[in-house]
Structure 1
Amino acid sequence: MRERRFSTVLHIGRLVHVGVAALAMAACGGDAKPKADSAASGDAPFRVALLTPGPISDQSWNAGAFNGLKAIKDSLDAQTSHIQTKTPAEFEENFRQYGAQGYALVFGHGFEFQDAALRVAPSYPKTIYVTTSGNSTAANVAGMTFAFEEASYLAGMVAGAMTKTNVVGAIGGTELPPVKASFAAFAAGAKAVNPKVRVLTSYIGNWDDVSAGKEQALAQIGQGADAVFQNADAAGLGIFQAAKERGVYAFGANSNQNGVAPDVILGSVVIDLPRAFLTVAREVKAGGFKPRVVDLGMKSGVVQLVYNPQLESRIPAATRAAVDSARVAIEAGTLKPLGDTPNWADVTKPAP
């Protein structure tokens, strides 16, 4: 949840390369320019854009967002465009390009897009900028959070019950607040069912290096971890490789990854990004969207723990019953995965 790649405290210089950005949009095959027939008829198209920090082939965070964009295109008859961005300077550059071209809605897919959105948005007041995993708002800037920690707690319960070594692991791409919160919830869930469990936590330093993901997983397995929870996007594929080689369990994240490594993945903490994106896009198209933090969790059906049907029978019935009871309690608000901490944004808040 990605969710995601660069610290928002970085001082970012503005780089405006209009020609390069326009070519990038065209190369991605998106609708970077208005269609002539729509302009001629006076019927302005509903145009939606997406910036992802990683490849949409990751079968995780970025793929889910791209599926959300496709759902908007299909369900709302929208013109859509997607660009993969690498650096904070590119976030701002492409936000400006889409605003200048009159896009109604632009998603920056990750916590790290917030600063760029807040800088660019005042110049394009008719464009709504939404940052996923973001908690910043302005006149035309909104955030969308996913309460990923809720289902992460449930995954922790499963890991805590299934471990034979009393050691489980959690591996992330980079140390961003939403990722840290999900790992804290995973650890809390594991310890709720197994007070003896020890949770190893490490970060790869990026979201794309499959080999580095595998190395991190092998290191944790070497320390006794026999179940590994990951939130690492494309790098997570390397974690699955290590789990298969060493015969330990793993968990999918962001998308339903159960089919990626069905022999080792016990379940996936899934964000239904198409459903979340459509929720916002419908409001924007109808003209009734009010910038805010849109909070979507298990109660909304957007976030869930989805068992792998091939391995579900290995999870003891008593554990599955306990997980179901915890899910009901979380949705009712009587169980807080992060204790008295109300949300992930406060998990890493500095002490006064």
Structure 2
Amino acid sequence: MESTRERTVLLKIAKKKTMISLTLILAMMSCRDIGVEGGRNDNEVPSFGVALLTSGPVSDAGWYGSAYEGIQLIEERFGARISHQQTNTPAEFDEVLRAYATSGYSLIFAHGFEYQDAAVRVGQEFPEVTIVVSSGGRVADNVIPLIFELEEGSYMAGVVAAKMTKSGTIGMVGGVAIPPAEATFVGFEAGAMSVDPEVQVLVNWIGSWDDVAMAKEAAVTLIRRGVDVLIHNTDAASFGVFQAVREARESGVEVWAMGMNRDQNDVASEVILGSAIIRIPEAFVQIATLWSEGQLTPGEAHYAGGRSGAADYVVNPNLSDKYDPELIAEIDSIRLGIADGLIAVPRIEFLERAGGSF
């Protein structure tokens, strides 16, 4: 529950800002105090406040859900006061960031490329607040892009897809064609072509992260064009991809799906060969640890990829019989090669310093 002081601050904000209702702000600022592992006293004052903004639901079993798990893990490890708010329109980005900064949240995770401009604007107003933008492309003194090198996991997925395809055609369903998402498909294609330079790779962008019906339609279109291994980079829309693959298999078409962002193998375990993943909760905890110790370098991006174990490919244990031992060994070898810097996965560079490029 908020203190009287917090409610007073929020009421003042609501009177000045008309873009977000008082009810929304009050809901946003409510938080839970859960004891830390090892026994934090319920009456103990939280060490610091950590907030999370997402532009989609944390029930997506993917990108947003992993971020919410991240702040829960921070709460458990540090006894932090946490809060989450879903922003439904770009107009809310500045308002919610500003409301959190005003209310004492000193570490804010803005989970998505779309928040980068708002983070820079609000960061200038609150230099004492650190804003971490997941997959962000703009850097400022207190705005830290957290770059997930998911293309390293999708590279391994591409290798698997090229080994598994019988048609010689594999496909990708994408949400919004922003650089971090495009980079995952660059990695996927590179991995596939490292196995078979003649493999055909098709892509269908739907312009939405969460439109399940549109994602299903895009997947159906690709399957009709001969795609028999299909990966995605969406959020809640991934359910549409998996449903399309499930229905195609039920009708006798031999086609497989792959998960992305988090381990989605149990979402549709009968059709998902494996998942290209990023370990978002662990990366959030690492950021919070560095920040709490004063070791998070201001004005620099933080990278989370295969070298730190943050990016990976996870075989679906329910379909492990589809993998021959040689392929499993090859995945392990590629994983080690990426970690050791011996395999350079193609990537898209999109970092820019606020006020000018690097």
Residue equivalent to 2:35 = none
Shift in Å, 1:146 = 1.1
Instruction: Kindly tell me the number of residue pairs found equivalent between the two proteins.
Output: 321
Q: Report what 2:261 is aligned to.
A: 254
Residues 44/308 of structure 1: CA separation in 2 closer, same or farther (3 Å cut): closer
Structure 1 equivalent of residue 276 of structure 2: 269
Aligned position for 1:322: 330
Q: CA deviation at 1:287?
A: 3.4
- Provide the rounded CA distance (Å) in 1 between the counterparts of 2:19 and 2:267: 39
Residue of structure 1 equivalent to 2:340:
332
Contact 1:160 1:191 in 2 (8 A): yes
C-alpha change, 1:183 and 1:68, in structure 2 (3 Å) is same
Q: Tell me the secondary structure at the aligned position of residue 126 of structure 1.
A: coil
Give the aligned partner of residue 119 of structure 1: 121
* Whole-angstrom CA distance in 2 between matches of 1:120 and 1:77: 26
Shift of 1:344: 4.1
Aligned equivalent of 1:280: 287
- Structure 1 CA distance, aligned partners of 2:327 and 2:52? 39
Which of 172, 178, 186 is matched with 2:188 structurally? 186
Give deviations 1:287-327, integer Å, cap 9, x for gaps.
34322211010121111111100112202222222222222
Equivalent residue, structure 1, for 2:131: 129
Q: Which amino acid aligns with 2:235?
A: D
Alignment partner, residue 168 of structure 2: 166
Describe the superposition over 1:223-243 as per-residue Cα deviations: whole angstroms up to 9, x where unpaired: 000000101110010000011
**Distance (whole Å) between structure 2 residues aligned to residue 200 and residue 166 of structure 1:** 11
Contact 2:169 2:228 in 1 (8 A): yes
Question: Within 2, Cα distance between the matches of 1:302 and 1:185?
Answer: 16
Computed over aligned residues only, the root mean square deviation of the Cα atoms, in angstroms, reads 2.1
2:345 is matched by which residue type in structure 1?
P
Q: Distance in 2 between matches of 1:242 and 1:21?
A: 39
Q: CA deviation at 1:23?
A: 2.5
Go from structure 1 to structure 2 and tell me whether the alpha carbon gap of 1:317 and 1:212 turns closer, same or farther (over 3 Å shift): same
Q: Give the drift of 1:282.
A: 1.7
Letter in 1 for 2:159: M
Where structure 2 has 5 or more consecutive residues not aligned to the other structure, the ranges are: 1-15, 33-42, 250-254, 352-358
Q: 2:215 aligns with which of 213, 216, 223?
A: 213
TM-score normalised to structure 2 length: 0.85
Summarize the Cα distance change of 1:44–1:189 in structure 2 as closer, same or farther, 3 Å threshold. closer
State the Cα distance separating 1:43 from its structure 2 match: 6.1
Q: Residues 226 and 42 from structure 1, CA distance in 2 versus in 1: closer, same or farther, beyond 3 angstroms?
A: closer
Matched residue of 2:128: which SS? coil
> Which of 294, 307, 317 pairs up with 1:309?
317
Q: Which moved more, 1:312-321 or 1:232-241?
A: 312-321
Preserved CA contact (<8 Å) 1:250 1:265: yes
The question of whether the paired residues in 2 share the 8 Å contact of 1:21 and 1:97 is answered with no
Deviates most, 216-225 or 132-141: 132-141
Residues 312, 335 of structure 2: 8 Å contact kept? no
Q: Percent identity over the alignment?
A: 41
Q: Which moved more, 1:246-255 or 1:46-55?
A: 246-255
1:226-285 Cα shifts (integer Å, max 9, x gaps): 000101110010000011111211111111100000011011111111111111112222
- Alpha-carbon deviations, 1:160-189, whole Å to 9, x = none? 010000010011111010111110110111
- Once the two structures are superposed, residues 48-67 of structure 1 have per-residue CA deviations (whole angstroms, 9 ceiling, x without a partner) of 10000100010000000000
Counterpart selection for 1:294 from 294, 302, 308: 302
User: 2:154 & 2:305 partners in 1: Cα distance?
Assistant: 11
Letter of the structure 1 residue corresponding to residue 294 of structure 2: G
For residues 90-140 of structure 1, give each alpha carbon's deviation from its aligned partner in whole angstroms, at most 9, with x where no partner exists: 111111111111211011101111110011111111110010011322121
Partners of 2:151 and 2:62 lie apart in 1 by 16
**d(CA) in 2 for partners of 1:44 and 1:70?**
13
In structure 2, C-alpha distance between the alignment counterparts of 1:21 and 1:156, rounded to whole Å: 45
Counterpart Cα distance in 2 of 1:43 and 1:51: 23
- What is the identity, as a one-letter code, of the residue corresponding to 1:27? A
Give the AA of the match of 1:59: A
Q: Secondary structure of the residue that 2:258 maps to in structure 1?
A: strand
Equivalent residues of 1:135, 1:142 under 8 A apart: no
Contact 1:25 1:81 in 2 (8 A): no
TM-score by length of 1: 0.86
Alignment of 1:37-116 (within 5 A): 45-116=47-118
The CA distance in 2 between the partners of 1:297 and 1:320, in whole Å, is: 20
- Partner residue, 1:5: none
Cα deviation 1:193-238 (Å, max 9, x = unaligned): 1222100011111111111111000000000000001011100100
